[in-house]
Amino acid sequence: MIFIVFGWITAQAQQTTKVKKVKENRIERLKHETMMLRDPATGKIPLNMREKELNYVYSSRARLLPSLNPNARTTGGAFSIRGPYNVGGRTRALGVDTRNTSIIMIGGASGGLYRSTNGGTSWTMVSSPNTNPSITGIAQDPINQDTWYYTTGEAIGTVSTNMGGATYLGDGVFKSTDNGATWSQLSSTKPTSSVTFGGGTRAEWQFCHDIVIDPINSAVLVANFKGVYRSTDGGTSWTQVLDAKASFTTDLTQMDVLKTGVSSKVYYAGTHSSGTNKGFFTSTDGITWTKITSPGSMPTSWERIEVAIAPSNSNIVWFFVSNQSKTYKLYKYEAGGAGWTDRSANLPAVGGNVGNLNTQGSYNMIMSVKPDNENYVFIGGTSLYRSSDGFATAVNTNNTGNSRWIGGYSPDNDISRYPNHHPDIHSFIFMPNSNTEVLCGHDGGVSKGDITATDGTPTGRSKPHPVTWTALNNGYYTTQAYSIAIDPTTSGDNRLIMGFQDNGNWSVNATGSTSVWGEEVGGGDGCYTAIVAGKNIRYISTQNGSVARIEGTDPQNPTSNNHVHPSKESIASGGYNVSGQLFVNPFILDKNDQKIMYYPAGTELWRHKDVESINTGWNFSGTKATGWEQLTSASIGSGKISVLAVSKSTANVLYYGTTDGQLYKLTNANTGTSPTRTNIYTGKGFPSGAHVSCIAVDEEDANNVFVTFSNYKVKSVFHSTDGGSNWTDVSGNLEENTDGSGNGASVRWLAIHKPATGNKLYYAGTSTGLYFTNALNGTSTSWTQVSADVIGNVPVSMIKTRSVDGLIAVGTHGKGAFSATVTDGNNTNAPIANTLLPANNGTNISVATNLVITFNENVAKGTGNITIKKDTDDAVVATIDVTSSQVSVSNATVTIDPTNNLATSTKFYVEVASGAFKNGSGTSFAGISGKNSWAFTTSSSAVGISSSLQQLLKIYPNPTSRQVSIRLEKLNVELAKAELYNSKGELVAEKLLRQVRNNDVEGGLDVSKLPKGTYVLKVITPKQVISRTLVVQ
**With bands split at pLDDT 50, 70 and 90, how would you rate the model's confidence at 498?**
very high
Q: Which residue has the higher pLDDT, 92 or 59?
A: 92
Peptide bond into 838 cis (omega under 30): yes
Per the model's pLDDT, the better-predicted residue between 969 and 758 turns out to be: 758
Strand partners of residue 837: 852
Give backbone dihedrals phi and psi of 285, rounded to 5 degrees, phi first. Answer: -135, 0
In this prediction, residue 20 carries a pLDDT of 54
Percent of the chain with pLDDT over 90: 50
- Kindly state the greatest CA–CA separation across the chain: 102
pLDDT for residue 17: 42
Res. 1023 pLDDT band, cuts 50 70 90: low
Q: Could you give the domains of the chain?
A: 88-471 (2.130.10.10), 481-821 (2.130.10.10), 830-942 (2.60.40.1220), 952-1033 (2.60.40.1930)
Give the number of other CB atoms < 10 A from CB of residue 540. Answer: 29
Summarize the confidence of residues 265-271 as an average pLDDT. Answer: 68
The answer to whether 579 and 641 are in contact (CB under 8 A) is no
CA pair distance 85, 71, nearest whole angstrom: 27
Ordered DSSP codes for 171-212: --EEEESSTTSS-EE-GGGSS-SEEEETTEEEETTS---EEE
| Position 164 pLDDT exceeds 50 | no
Q: Are 805 and 143 in contact (CB under 8 A)?
A: no
- pLDDT confidence bin for 842, thresholds 50/70/90: confident
Least confidently predicted of 5-9, 106-110, 112-116: 5-9
Sorting pLDDT into bands at 50, 70 and 90, what band is 65? low
Q: What is the pLDDT of residue 1005?
A: 87
Query: What secondary structure letter does DSSP report for 73?
Result: G
Sheet hosting strand 258-260, strand order edge to edge: 258-260, 266-271, 279-283, 290-292
Instruction: Indicate the range of 110-114, 442-446, 603-607, 703-707 predicted with least confidence.
Output: 110-114
Of 128-142, 565-579, 618-632, the range with the lowest mean pLDDT is 128-142
Strand, coil or helix: 345: helix
pLDDT at res. 914: 77
Across residues 572-583, what is the average pLDDT? 95
Q: Look at residues 545, 679, 542 and name the one whose alpha carbon lies nearest to residue 599.
A: 545
pLDDT at 255 (0 to 100)? 38
How many beta carbons lie within 10 A of that of residue 671, not counting itself?
10
* Choice among 57-66, 134-143, 266-275, 383-392 with the minimum mean pLDDT: 57-66
pTM value surpassing 0.85: no
At residue 999, the pLDDT reads 66
Residue 602, C-beta contacts closer than 8 angstroms, at least 6 positions apart: 578, 579, 580, 581, 640, 641
The stretch 541-547 carries a mean pLDDT of 95
Question: What pLDDT shows up at residue 933?
Answer: 87
pLDDT of the residue at 941: 64
Q: Write down the mean pLDDT value for the chain.
A: 85
> 752 pairs with which residues across the strands?
762
Question: Is the confidence at residue 906, as pLDDT, over 50?
Answer: yes
**How many whole angstroms separate alpha carbon 989 and alpha carbon 1024?**
19
pLDDT tens, residue by residue, 111-137: 789 999 999 999 988 887 767 678 889
> Do residues 239 and 229 lie in contact, with contact meaning Cβ atoms separated by under 8 Å?
yes
Q: How far apart are CA 1033 and CA 1031, in angstroms?
A: 6
Determine the pLDDT at residue 461: 86
Helix (H, G, I), strand (E, B) or coil at 619: coil
Residue 957: count other Cβ atoms within 10 Å of its Cβ. 12
* Whether the predicted pLDDT of 777 surpasses 90: yes
Are 103 and 873 within 8 A, CB to CB?
no
Are the C-beta atoms of 34 and 159 separated by less than 8 Å? yes
Q: How many CA atoms lie within 13 A of 317 on its CB side?
A: 29
Do residues 896 and 936 make contact, with C-beta atoms less than 8 angstroms apart? no
pLDDT of residue 252: 30
Confidence band, pLDDT 50/70/90 cuts, at residue 162: very low
Whole-number pLDDT of residue 2: 41
Q: How far apart are CA 284 and CA 314, in angstroms?
A: 11
pLDDT of residue 355: 94
Write down the pLDDT at residue 166: 42
Q: What is the arithmetic mean of pLDDT over 630-636?
A: 96
DSSP class of 344: G
- Tell me the three state secondary structure of residue 59: helix
Residue type, 561: N
Averaged over 913-924, what is the pLDDT? Answer: 79
d(CA 819, CA 808): 5
Task: Indicate the pairing of strand 935-938 with strand 842-845.
Answer: parallel
State the Cα–Cα distance between residues 858 and 855, nearest whole angstrom.
7
The predicted structure's pLDDT at residue 495: 97
Highest average pLDDT, of 424-428, 518-522, 975-979, comes from: 424-428
- 343, 330 contact by CB (below 8 A): yes
Q: Which residue has the higher pLDDT, 726 or 846?
A: 726
| Closest C-alpha among 942, 940, 935 to residue 872 | 935
* More confident site: 687 or 197: 687
Q: Which pLDDT value is given to residue 1024?
A: 67
Task: Assign 968 a pLDDT band (cuts: 50, 70, 90).
Answer: confident
Of the chain, the percentage scoring pLDDT greater than 70 comes to 87
* Lateral strand order in the sheet of 437-442: 425-430, 437-442, 445-450, 469-471
Question: 93: pLDDT confidence band, cut at 50, 70 and 90?
Answer: very high
Tally the C-alpha atoms within 13 A of residue 357's C-alpha that lie toward its C-beta.
31
